[in-house]
Copies of this chain bind each other. A is one copy, B any other.
Amino acid sequence: MLHIVNKSPFTAGALQSCLRIAKAGSTILMIEDGIYGALDGTAVSGQIREALGDITVCALSHDLEARGVNGKVLDGITLVDYDGFVELVTANDGVQSWL
C-alpha cells in the first residue's frame, strides 16, 4: 500500500497518523509540504529513521528542490520525480492520501 503525506509534520498530524497505521512493507511518499518530514536533524528525524527499518520512505524531489532542502534529506529515503510517483501508484495495490 502507498501512503501519501502532503503536510508538514510540524503543523499537522498527518505524518503521525500515517506512521501509526502504515504496515511493515508499505511505502510512504512525501509530497508538497510533506517533504519537510524527510529531512535530517529535525524533531521528527529520529522517528522517520526508525520507520525506515520496516517501511520504504520516498520524497518527491521537485518539492524538495522547490523548498531548497534537497541537500538535507535523511539517508535511506528514496527520491522520486513525478514519473517515480506514477510508478509508486501503479506498483502498489492501494493508495491512501493522508489529507
Residues of A within 8 A of B (CB): 10-13
Instruction: Label chain A's interface by main secondary structure.
Output: loop
Would you list 5 pairs from A and B whose C-beta atoms are within 8 A, ordered by A residue?
A: A10-B13, A11-B12, A11-B13, A12-B12, A12-B13
Q: How many copies does the complex hold?
A: 2
Residues in chain B near residue A10, CB distance under 8 A = 13
Give Cα distance in the complex from A12 to B12, angstroms: 5
Give Cα distance in the complex from A12 to B10, angstroms: 9
Nearest CB in chain B: distance from A38 CB, A? 19
* Nearest 5 Cβ contacts at the A-B interface: A11-B13, A12-B12, A11-B12, A10-B13, A12-B13
Give Cα distance in the complex from A12 to B7, angstroms: 10
